[in-house]
């Protein structure tokens, strides 16, 4: 549970020492439950024995059995499971402090309470006149999770399923993700509840600028407050609109105005490699474990990436670049899945050509370089499965069908707690989202530093 321990260290608590081999202890099953005399006992998930004094809240106890729990409750459940395993380390680390046990316990509980709850949630609604004269009510959200470090950081997504529960969950994951990779930001997330494919570019620009202005007027964003970034259905274009709206209004006198968002085009202070960073991070995180003989022996694979087969779900920014790096380093693509279709390459697929085809057609359906297939190739036998679309796609009802040896979570929260338990029993190695897709926020941090320091990074 390295990720949560790092978050708590940022809040001033020194935890026990953790290494990268322990990062996935909750995701890789081990048969041994014996105490070897020198090490702490482990449960069937490979975790240290849970501290019986700390109890998961009653309202969350049914989460491990639910098919489709609320996203935020799933994140809360994972958080409390991690805390259970960290309690002994907390207690051990505070033994040398010159405080009473009662004081240490209050401090520990205060930090836990701070981290499990979000700081604030802003909901904005405004009427919008479309080019055809019709009016729509646009709903927008922005959540700040934990402000132990400022600014807070997280993307903005455009989708019809954006809601308060989703942005709260994603903001919490951003807190843990930032801490996992030592990025000194708190967590945040936002979104606009629209189908961007039903709006033209001019309409999307006006919506984006209005959202940016509303957030800035309420002092909810700023280079030292909250720094948004691209997410699902957004990119450099939307970030340029956001920056321009801020710089020409509320932020006209802000010397650091360029640091209001990351993921911008290069000519507006962006940084090379940001667009591909999240997908590249999915590859790099997987490659770390592929080169670990202990883990590969446990799941029955040979080390190294060469000749490993993979399937990608979602061919957006994350899925495309992840697939590109996997293929570039010797992997073989067996399928690409989108919401409405899937394709199965007959030979080595030209991923750049497929990406260009999707950009021009809006879909991968009908791509001439591969044959169409059913979306259930998600459950085909493969070495590496990369869910890079939306949350909670691996559930209790379908986790047992998965035949992959490794799941690299390119999406945020693609696995429910019930599905996680099934994957553990099947000895499937799951590389969690807060590590696997942290490449984007890591490079965003470099872009933010470039902007506030007013210098080029080369």
Identify any residues that bridge with 386 across adjacent strands, giving them in sequence order.
312
Contacts of 324 (CB under 8 A, 6+ apart): 276, 279, 351, 352
- Phi, then psi, of 83 in degrees rounded to 5: -60, -40
pLDDT bin (cut points 50, 70, 90) of residue 66 is confident
Tokens at 156, concatenated:
């903005």
- Output helix, strand, coil percentages for the chain, rounded to the nearest 5: 45, 15, 40
Out of 5-14, 76-85, 367-376, pick the least confident.
Answer: 5-14
**Lowest-confidence region among 167-171, 244-248, 346-350:** 346-350
Predicted pLDDT at 135 = 94
Alpha-carbon distance of 455 to 453, in angstroms, equals: 6
> Per-residue pLDDT tens for 255-293?
999 999 999 999 998 898 888 899 999 999 999 999 888
Please say if the pLDDT value at position 4 is more than 70. Answer: no
Model pLDDT for residues 319-344, shown as the tens digit of each residue: 999 999 999 988 899 888 888 788 88
Average pLDDT over residues 388-411: 89
Judge residue 83's burial from the number of C-beta atoms within 10 Å of its C-beta, 0-12 exposed, 13-18 middle, 19 or more buried.
Answer: buried
pLDDT class for 301, splitting at 50, 70, 90?
confident
| Catalytic residue ranges | 189
For the chain, give every domain's residue range: 2-116, 120-270, 275-440
Of the candidates 53, 235, 54, 207, the residue with the CA atom closest to the CA atom of residue 140: 207
Q: What is the average per-residue pLDDT within 286-303?
A: 88
Instruction: Specify whether the CB–CB gap between 138 and 208 falls below 8 A.
Output: no
* Nearest alpha carbon to residue 451 among 264, 299, 291: 264
Strand partners, 152: 186, 226
- Write down the mean pLDDT value for the chain: 83
Task: For residue 452, name the pLDDT band (cuts at 50, 70, 90).
Answer: very high
Strand order in the sheet with 429-431: 370-373, 342-345, 332-337, 309-313, 384-387, 406-408, 429-431
Q: CA 23 to CA 251: how far, in whole Å?
A: 41
Q: Residues, the chain, total?
A: 458
Residue 13 confidence (pLDDT) above 50: no
pLDDT(26) > 90: no
* pLDDT for position 370: 78
The confidence band for 57, taking pLDDT boundaries of 50, 70 and 90, is confident
Q: What is the mean pLDDT of residues 289-298?
A: 88
SS3 366: coil
- The predicted pLDDT at position 53 comes to 63
Whether the pLDDT of residue 32 is over 60: the answer is: no
CA separation, residue 439 to residues 274, 321, 337, 446 (Å):
9, 12, 22, 11
Please, how many CA atoms are within 13 Å of residue 199, restricted to the half-sphere of its CB? 24
More confident site: 3 or 101? 101
Is the fold of 120-270 the same as that of 275-440?
yes
Cβ neighbour number for residue 127 with a 10 Å cutoff: 8
Per-residue model confidence (pLDDT) at position 208: 96
What's the rounded Cα separation, in Å, for the pair 190 and 59? 26
Architecture of the domain whose range is 120-270: 3-Layer(aba) Sandwich (3.40)
Q: How far apart are CA 182 and CA 278, in angstroms?
A: 16
Look at residue 126 and tell me whether its pLDDT is greater than 80. yes
Which of the four pLDDT bands, split at 50, 70 and 90, describes residue 149?
Answer: confident
Please count the other Cβ atoms lying within 10 Å of the Cβ belonging to residue 171.
29
* Contact by Cβ (8 Å): 28, 46: yes
**Residue 458: its pLDDT value, please?**
54
The predicted pLDDT at position 169 comes to 92
What class is the 275-440 domain? alpha beta
Angle among Cα 364, 369, 370 to the nearest 5 degrees reads 70
CA distance 414 to 321: 18
Q: How confident is the model at residue 206 (pLDDT cuts 50, 70, 90)?
A: very high
* pLDDT above 70 (res 44): no
| Model-wide pTM > 0.95 | no
Contact 76, 173 (CB under 8 A): no
Burial class (CB in 10 A: 0-12, 13-18, 19+), 376: exposed
Pairing outcome for strands 384-387 and 370-373: unpaired
């Amino acid at each position: 549970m390295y990720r949560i321990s790092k978050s708590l260290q940022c809040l001033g608590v020194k935890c026990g020492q953790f290494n990268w081999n322990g990062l996935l202890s909750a995701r890789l099953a081990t048969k041994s439950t014996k105490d070897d005399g020198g090490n702490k006992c482990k449960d069937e998930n490979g975790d240290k024995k849970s501290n019986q004094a700390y109890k998961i809240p009653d309202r969350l106890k049914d989460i491990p059995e639910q098919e489709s729990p609320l996203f935020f409750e799933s994140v809360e459940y994972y958080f409390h499971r991690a805390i259970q395993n960290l309690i002994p380390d907390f207690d051990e680390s505070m033994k040398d402090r010159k405080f009473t046990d009662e004081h240490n316990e209050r401090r520990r509980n205060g930090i836990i309470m701070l981290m499990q709850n979000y700081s604030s949630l802003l909901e904005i609604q405004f009427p919008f006149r479309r080019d055809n004269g019709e009016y729509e009510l646009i709903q927008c959200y922005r959540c700040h999770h934990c402000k132990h470090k400022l600014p807070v950081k997280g993307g903005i997504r455009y989708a019809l399923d954006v809601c308060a529960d989703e942005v709260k969950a994603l903001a919490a994951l951003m807190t843990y993700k930032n801490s996992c990779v030592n990025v000194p930001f708190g967590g945040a997330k936002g979104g606009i509840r629209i189908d961007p494919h039903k709006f033209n570019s001019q309409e999307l620009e006006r919506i984006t600028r209005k959202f940016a202005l509303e957030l800035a007027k309420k002092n909810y964003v700023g280079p030292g407050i909250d720094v948004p970034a691209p997410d699902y259905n957004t990119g450099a274009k939307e970030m340029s609109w956001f920056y321009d709206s801020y710089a020409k209004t509320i932020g006209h006198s802000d010397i650091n105005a360029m640091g209001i968002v990351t993921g911008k085009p290069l000519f507006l202070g962006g940084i090379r490699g940001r667009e591909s960073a999240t997908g590249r991070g999915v590859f790099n995180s997987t490659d770390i474990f592929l080169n670990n003989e202990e883990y590969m022996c446990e799941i029955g694979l040979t080390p190294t990436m060469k000749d490993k087969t993979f399937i990608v779900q979602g061919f957006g920014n994350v899925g495309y670049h992840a697939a590109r790096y996997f293929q570039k380093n010797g992997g073989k693509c067996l399928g690409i899945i989108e919401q409405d279709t899937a394709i199965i390459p007959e030979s080595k697929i030209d991923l750049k050509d497929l990406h260009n085809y999707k950009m021009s057609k809006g879909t991968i359906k009908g791509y001439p370089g591969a044959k169409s297939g059913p979306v259930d190739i998600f459950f085909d036998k493969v070495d590496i499965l990369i869910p890079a679309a939306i949350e909670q796609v691996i559930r209790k009802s379908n986790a047992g069908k998965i035949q992959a040896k490794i799941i690299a979570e390119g999406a945020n929260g693609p696995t429910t707690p019930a599905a996680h338990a099934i994957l553990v029993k099947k000895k499937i190695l799951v590389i969690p989202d807060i590590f696997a897709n942290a490449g984007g926020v890591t490079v965003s941090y470099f872009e933010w530093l470039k902007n506030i320091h007013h210098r080029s990074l080369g």
